[in-house]
Amino acid sequence: EDQVTQSPEALRLQEGESSSLNCSYTVSGLRGLFWYRQDPGKGPEFLFTLYSAGEEKEKERLKATLTKKESFLHITAPKPEDSATYLCAVQSYGDAGGTSYGKLTFGQGTILTVHP
């Protein structure tokens, strides 16, 4: 069974204080690892998809990296508007028969608060 663990559960930063969020995963063959941002009461907003170890993607102050066991979301010089819950999810190739039905397995998320 696929598993995703995110740490820390909550992170409080001062504006401009760079940091990283961690996503550790266990899958039976990784199809993709996804990062989303979720604001309170809203649906998850897509940030990045990573497919293979060594891959990196950037968008504004965010950079996502991927190894064979974990992914990091690096936040450089964060601003208060970056405050949100950041979700990590994986999609795997499924069971030994190779079947998969598009399931995303999510972590519990990291609640990021950036103070001015």
Partner 1 sequence: ETGVTQTPRHLVMGMTNKKSLKCEQHLGHNAMYWYKQSAKKPLELMFVYSLEERVENNSVPSRFSPECPNSSHLFLHLHTLQPEDSALYLCASSQDRASGDTQYFGPGTRLTVL
Residues engaged in binding partner 1 (CB under 8 A): 4, 31-32, 34, 36, 41-46, 49, 51, 87, 89, 91, 94, 100-109
* Size of the chain in residues: 116
Q: For the CB of residue 4, give the shortest distance to partner 1 in the complex, in Å.
A: 7
Beta pairing, strands 30-38 & 45-50: antiparallel
Return the number of the residue (64 or 87) whose C-beta is nearest partner 1.
87
Q: For the CB of residue 32, give the shortest distance to partner 1 in the complex, in Å.
A: 4
Q: For the CB of residue 113, give the shortest distance to partner 1 in the complex, in Å.
A: 17
Cβ-contact 35, 90 below 8 angstroms: no
Return the number of the residue (49 or 83) whose C-beta is nearest partner 1.
49
Please classify residue 66 by burial: count the beta carbons closer than 10 Å to its beta carbon, then call 0-12 exposed, 13-18 middle and 19+ buried.
buried
Q: For the CB of residue 68, give the shortest distance to partner 1 in the complex, in Å.
A: 16
Cβ-contact 89, 33 below 8 angstroms: yes
